[in-house]
Amino acid sequence: MLVDREAELATLSAALAESARGTGAFAVVHGATALGKSELLHALRARATEHGFTVRTALGSPTEQPFPYALVDQLLPELGLPPEELTPGGATDAVPPHLLRRAYQATLTLAADRPLLLCVDDLHYADHASQQCLLYLVRRLRTARAALVVTEAPHGTAHRTLLGELQYQPRTRHLFLTPLTARGITRLLTHHLGEPAAARLTAHFHRLTGGNPLLLRALLDDAAAAPDTVPLPGAAYRSAVLACAHRSGADALAVARASAVLDTTNTPHPETAPLKNPENTENPENTENTENTGTLNTPDATLLASTAALTPHAVPQALDALTTSALYDAHRRPRHPAVAEALLADPDLSSAAHTALRARAARALHAQGAPAVAVAAQLMAGAPLGESWEAPALRAAAEEHLAAGDTALAGRCLRCAVLRADDSPQGLADRLATVAVAWRLDPPGVITQLRALTGHARTGLLPPRATLHLIQALLWHGREEDAITAAETLPAEDADPRYATELAVTRLRLTHTYPGTLPWMPEVLRRPTPEPAPDGRPEPVEVAAARTLHIALTGAGPDTVAAAAERVLRSPGVIDHRPDAVVVAVQSLVHIDRLDSADAWSERFLAPRPGFPAPPPVRQALLHQTRSFVLLRRGELTAACEHGVRALELMPEAGWGTALAFPLAVLAEAHTALGEHDRAAELLNRPLPEATHRTIFTIHHQYARGLHHLALDRPRDALACFVSCGETLRSWGLDTPSLAPWRTGAAEAWLALGRPERAVRLLDDRQAAPVHRRPRPRAGALRVLAATEPPERRAATLTRALELYRVCGDRHGIARTLADLDTATERRPAPAAGVVLTTAEHRVAVLAARGLSNREVAAELSIAVSTVEQHLTRVYRKYRIRHRRDLSTRLSAGA
């Protein structure tokens, strides 16, 4: 069906009429590839045959272009050219005059009885000899009953002499074909799909084909395979794309492939959906609307030229050819992602050519300073180039993908980066930086790479700043010996201006996180960290965060710590670029009992951000753990458990390294406070890396174990845990209750053992000054001390403790203190005179009052521990007491 070509066919028919009257007529049909030139020629031949014309047709072909006379032999086989003339190299540059005359005579003979129509399709592929013959005929057929109609595409140049001659013939008609209009598409769709479907789909077809008849018919073929859906490009469409690209000329094909490789459109595929009206049918010719238009970010000529291996001036012409054929839209972009997919899947594009194309694209993008993700896309799709910028570019792309929430693509970039990093100092630094990014995706997976880099650090090949990064990573995973060995290569100073920053961070982290390892480090890491510049210049955020935690643990004023933490947390982009700084700053607020502020910040950074992708799992795990710690200190125990469990789900235990003790301790402490002792025991019994006991995390773990023993009425075991905490903290110079109020725990254990004087001495102001610098530890100490005081003073002490708990916002502390206050103030009647203990109950109660644990009582009496617990429960109920420390008093009263 011929559509939108009625006017052109009428013009050509008029040329036929002239030639039938004995006046030679000529016509040239101009048009880009696949715009229907051949179909128009076919319709003209049919009309000429109906009117009694003799019709001869020749088709130009790039495969026959090297053969002399290939085209004229199709038009005038009567010439009887010898075989040697039809082989490559068989003809000279100039056609012999006798052959030219023979061609002319043969044409006159054909036109003697009936008018003659000579049709040449794709003249731009005509061989040189045939062009000379046609040029000879054009100059002599002005008075013959003959018409010559040719079609040509704009990308050829060899036929320009013949076209120039036709230009000056007085009766030559020039027709310029354009893509089908929306009305023409509607007519075509009506013919194939019916009027209702045509009304719905015209704009859709117009957008995907631009009116290119070949693409239109291909899309109709694809639509026939899925009649109940909106037609989407399929196999037929892709084949038509390749046909258009190949027939648009070598330069256009090269530019189309380059554009496909650069893939700057980022156009989404429309989803297959039931037939509907996807467009505004009131304006079907508006093809520049919503779907598949993307952004106008066509690569510039220089970038395309470099990728296509062409000169820059060839690119605009190639883009014109692709645009006029409607393969590209008005913005010089492929009409659909299927165009690029077809070009890159072209069987004629060899693997080697594809790799070379990717290499040129990567180099060109890098040279232009393109975004790292664009460069990395080419590097990952091609082979290594062996150039120094590859690994950093891939690592930077991984960072961007992580920021965008695409962890899978970030992982691919990192794997490629590792493969491209050599063993030079810079290559090793690149590899370590890649490992640092990879840790955010798969913490356990980087251990093998860290081991390999440790060997290079021993030899001094790793740059000093990279060595510091390696030391921190090794310490996290508990590889102390490797970290100490690597540190021995560190200089006191380095030309890298960032070395001093990283050195300060490492020193501070050793002091407050790995204090047990610090004495074994070389002197360069044991030196005190320089104080901030006196001129008030802000420190790098990573240094400021590490210093904030350090001063929080070493006794700085709460206001000073809070101000430093707020500066870190308010730093622009800190959560994206330094999430570790956020964690450290929030923990600093917890350690000074600014729990409301810590709660607000932890909630803010953990909350989803509209318009931002979800953060990587490791960052989420650290933020959930921080939130769990804050909620534990606030006494919101159930919520603390929820966030702690989520943290362990997001990062496997092997990824936590020595820090695993921290989330386990927080969870165990929360479950103990909730009375869920089996769950707490399971958490505390999980295996930890051997190096954990030399980190600050062991303090949290030992303290949680002590609380667990207290809750299970094992005061001696609890006391051992609390005393161990104190001894370790004093040896490290970090004896602060903000980490673990071990004195309060130990005092409570002494009370349970019936030694209140030891509890009082442990919490005496002169012996335990650190306890009284923070409201929460002070409140805990007062609550325990109240149990050692006479009944008439106990309520006042508990009231002071309650006020302090309310100041810092510890709900669990408030609840415990209120319970103790109720016990201290309620007036309970003495036990009834007739209440007595059984012999078994009395034996158990007497031993427990002496300070023996349940297990020790069971061993003494040769009974089960559970039996001891049952007897004590009944004793407590009969004597109306809640604490083991009250047993001695009640037993004496009962006697």
DSSP 397-423: HHHHHHHTT-HHHHHHHHHHHHHH--S
Residue 742 has what pLDDT?
A: 93
Between the alpha carbon of residue 610 and those of residues 571, 601, 614, the distances in Å are 20, 17, 10
- On the question of pLDDT at 361 being above 70, the answer is yes
Q: Give me the pLDDT at residue 15, please.
A: 92
Q: Which two tokens stand for residue 765?
A: 């102001």
Residue 773: predicted pLDDT: 65
Among 24-38, 187-201, 225-239, 792-806, the least confident range: 225-239
Q: How far apart are CA 461 and CA 455, in angstroms?
A: 9
**Helices (H), ranges, 789-850:** 791-808, 811-825, 839-849
- Which pLDDT belongs to residue 582? 95
pLDDT of residue 289: 40
pLDDT in tens, 101-141: 999 999 999 999 999 999 999 888 888 888 889 988 888 88
Q: Is the pLDDT of residue 895 over 70?
A: no
- Confidence (pLDDT) at 766: 44
pLDDT at 835: 63
**pLDDT-derived band of residue 350, with 50, 70 and 90 as boundaries?**
very high
Which tokens sit at 435? 């490992």
Average of per-residue pLDDT across 491-520: 92
Report CA-CA distances (Å) from 615 to 405, 578, 620, 703: 6, 13, 6, 32
The answer to whether residue 542 scores a pLDDT higher than 60 is yes
What would the pLDDT profile of 462-478 be if each residue is shown by its tens digit?
888 888 888 998 999 99
Looking at the DSSP bridge assignments, the partners of residue 270 are none
What's the confidence (pLDDT) of residue 767? 47
Per-residue pLDDT reduced to its tens digit, 609-638 = 887 777 888 889 999 999 999 999 999 999
For residue 176, what is the enclosing H or E element? strand 172-176
Q: Which residues pair with 151 in a beta bridge?
A: 29
State the pLDDT confidence band at 230, using cuts at 50, 70 and 90: confident
According to the model, what pLDDT value does residue 54 have?
95
Predicted pLDDT of residue 828: 45
Q: Quick one: average pLDDT of 851-866?
A: 82
The sign one gets for the Cα dihedral 216, 222, 227, 231 is negative
pLDDT at 272: 35
Whose CA is closest to 712, among 865, 823, 509, 533?
A: 865
CA distance 810 to 807: 8
pLDDT score, position 157: 56
How far apart CA 689 and CA 553 sit, in angstroms, is: 24
Residue type, 115: P
Report the C-alpha gap between 423 and 255 in whole angstroms: 38
DSSP-assigned letter for residue 537: P
Pick the more confident residue, 183 or 890: 183
| pLDDT for 223 | 85
Confidence of residue 357 (pLDDT cuts 50, 70, 90): very high
Residue, of 756 and 664, whose pLDDT is higher: 664
Out of 282-296, 359-373, 590-604, 721-735, least confident range:
282-296
Query: What is the pLDDT averaged over residues 454-460?
Result: 80
DSSP element (H, E) containing 675: none
pLDDT reading at 63 higher than 60? yes
Position 765 scores a pLDDT of 54
User: What is the mean predicted confidence (pLDDT) over 822-840?
Assistant: 64
The answer, yes or no, to whether residue 168 has pLDDT greater than 90, is: no
Higher pLDDT pick, 62 / 295? 62
How many other CB atoms are found less than 10 A from the CB of residue 888?
16
Residue type (1 letter), 431: R
Dihedral of CA 732/735/738/742: which sign? positive
What does the alpha-carbon distance between residue 115 and residue 844 come to, in Å, rounded to a whole number? 130
Assigned token pair, 374? 């664009």
d(CA 738, CA 773): 9
With a cut of 90, say whether residue 454 has pLDDT above it: no
Spatial distance between the Cα atoms of 133 and 94, rounded to a whole number of angstroms: 10
Residue 395 has pLDDT above 50, yes or no: yes
Residue 518 has pLDDT above 90, yes or no: yes
Average pLDDT for the chain: 85
Residue 86 pLDDT level (bands cut at 50, 70, 90): low
Give bridge partners of residue 176 from the DSSP assignment.
30
pTM, whole model, 2 decimals? 0.64
Range with the poorest average pLDDT among 86-95, 175-184, 496-505:
86-95
CA distance 110 to 516: 106
* Percentage of the residues of the chain whose pLDDT score is greater than 70: 90
Q: How confident is the model at residue 292 (pLDDT cuts 50, 70, 90)?
A: very low
pLDDT tens figures, 425-453: 777 777 777 777 777 777 777 777 788 78
In contact, 877 and 871? CB cutoff 8 Å: no
Instruction: Say if residue 288's pLDDT is above 50.
Output: no
Structural tokens at position 698: 């062991």
Spatial separation of the C-alpha atoms in residues 333 and 294, rounded to whole Å = 9
Per-residue confidence band for 817, with pLDDT thresholds at 50, 70 and 90: confident
User: Looking at the predicted structure, is the pLDDT value of residue 263 above 90?
Assistant: no
Instruction: Note the pLDDT of residue 892.
Output: 67
Mean pLDDT value of segment 636-654: 93
Q: How many residues does this entry show for the chain?
A: 895
pLDDT band at 268 (very low <50, low <70, confident <90, very high): very low
Q: Residue 47 — very low, low, confident or very high, per pLDDT cuts 50/70/90?
A: very high
Of 76, 10, 20, the C-alpha closest to 44 is 10
Find, among 71, 72, 130, the residue nearest to 106 by Cα. Answer: 72
pLDDT-derived band at 460 (thresholds 50, 70, 90) equals confident
Task: Please give the pLDDT value at position 749.
Answer: 93
Whole-number Å distance between alpha carbons of 729 and 739: 9
pLDDT at 724: 95
Q: Edge to edge, what strands does the sheet with 172-176 contain? A: 54-59, 116-121, 146-152, 25-30, 172-176
Tokens of 747: 């005092």
